[in-house]
């Protein structure tokens, strides 16, 4: 398959990432997109999020006409039937939650429902070879990891599994470039792939400095932002995204894939999560834990 042969694309999942990926595929790629989720309510929320984003960031700023926005929306079709949505597509991008069993279940259905399509996963950490293990044709399975916000972030990690074909890699690289992205290629033997694996090491060391009482979280973040021109420090970003709770949930995967102590949860994060400091919208995180608990010890 070549890029020119791709006419229709299905996106599985209409949440924050799925809806953004669908929007970019329609707006920049001008593809017909089938966006799938488990209920009409979820699909409706995804479509509403896309339309509101186009209005806010493009139409209201004079960067897009209302007619152009409508054309983008008309190319995106919501659906609650995975089988129906993927029956005539050339490529599928899966964007369901980071649960390995769930992704394997989805890919098993895709193997039957879209036997000729390239099947890409937006996973940020999970092993592509293991996801593809449920497939009859694992050579067409690949990782295509977009970064949030999808419309802004240039990076796309293209992740090869053990059986991913060169043709599949070439098509996904070409698609990423068509969407204005800068793709990089890596193998799924790297847990967290490239960007997240390297960033996790930075965040882990920042957490260790808090644990050792070297400095406050604010000063550690300030040093990294000013010293390395980061827009946000790793600790405040972890608080904002709720990374601490998710990291705890993924500890078992990290230990299995990395095979050493890097996969284990830092004692500070374990203590925080047990105490309910998970981070995320409206929730307390590491900054609060430092002020309310750790700095008093």
Inter-residue contact 264 to 254 (CB < 8 Å): yes
Q: How far apart are CA 186 and CA 194, in angstroms?
A: 7
Helix (H, G, I), strand (E, B) or coil at 51: helix
Is 145 noted as a catalytic residue in this protein?
yes
Q: Assess whether 19 carries a catalytic annotation.
A: no
DSSP per-residue codes, 85-150: HHTT-SEEEE---S-HHHHHHHHHHHHHH-TTSEEEE--SSS-HHHHGGG-S-GGGEEEEEE-SST
Residue 77 CA neighbour count, 13 Å, CB half: 14
Which entry of 19, 124, 127, 243 is annotated as an active-site residue? 124
**Is 122 marked active-site?**
no
- Residue 163 has a CB neighbour count (10 Å cut-off) of 16
Q: Of these residues, 87, 133, 190, 196, which one is catalytic?
A: 196
CB 143 within 8 A of CB 123: yes
Q: What three-state secondary structure class fits 156?
A: strand
Whether 90 is catalytic is no
Task: Kindly name the residue from 23, 157, 200, 257 that is annotated as catalytic.
Answer: 157
Query: 14, 49, 94, 145: which is the annotated catalytic residue?
Result: 145
- Edge-to-edge strands, sheet with 91-94: 76-79, 32-36, 8-12, 91-94, 118-121, 141-146, 155-160, 182-187
| Residues known to be catalytic | 124, 145, 157, 196
């Amino acid at each position: 398959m070549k890029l020119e042969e791709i006419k229709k694309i299905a996106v599985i999942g209409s949440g924050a990432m799925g809806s953004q990926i669908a929007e970019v595929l329609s707006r920049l790629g001008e593809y017909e997109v089938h966006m799938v989720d488990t209920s009409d309510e979820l699909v409706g929320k995804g479509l509403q999020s896309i339309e509101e984003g186009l209005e806010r960031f493009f139409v209201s700023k004079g960067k897009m006409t209302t007619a152009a926005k409508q054309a983008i929306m008309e190319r995106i079709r919501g659906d609650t039937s995975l089988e129906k949505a993927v029956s005539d597509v050339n490529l599928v991008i899966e964007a369901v939650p980071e649960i390995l069993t769930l992704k394997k279940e989805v890919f098993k259905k895709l193997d039957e429902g879209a036997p000729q399509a390239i099947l890409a996963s937006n996973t940020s950490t999970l092993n592509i070879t293991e996801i593809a293990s449920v497939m009859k044709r694992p050579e067409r399975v690949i990782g295509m990891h977009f970064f949030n916000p999808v419309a802004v972030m240039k990076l796309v990690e293209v992740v090869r599994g053990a059986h991913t074909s060169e043709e599949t890699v070439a098509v996904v690289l070409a698609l990423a470039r068509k969407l204005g992205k800068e793709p990089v290629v890596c193998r799924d033997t790297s847990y967290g792939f490239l960007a997240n694996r390297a960033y996790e090491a930075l965040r882990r060391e920042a957490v260790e400095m808090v644990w050792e009482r070297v400095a406050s979280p604010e000063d550690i973040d300030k040093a990294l932002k000013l010293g390395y021109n980061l827009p946000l420090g790793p600790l405040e970003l972890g608080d904002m995204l709720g990374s601490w709770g998710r990291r705890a949930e993924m500890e078992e995967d990290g230990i299995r894939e990395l095979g050493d102590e890097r996969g284990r949860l830092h004692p500070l994060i374990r203590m925080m999560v047990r105490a309910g400091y998970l981070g995320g919208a409206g929730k307390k995180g590491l900054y609060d834990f430092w002020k309310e608990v750790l700095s008093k010890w």
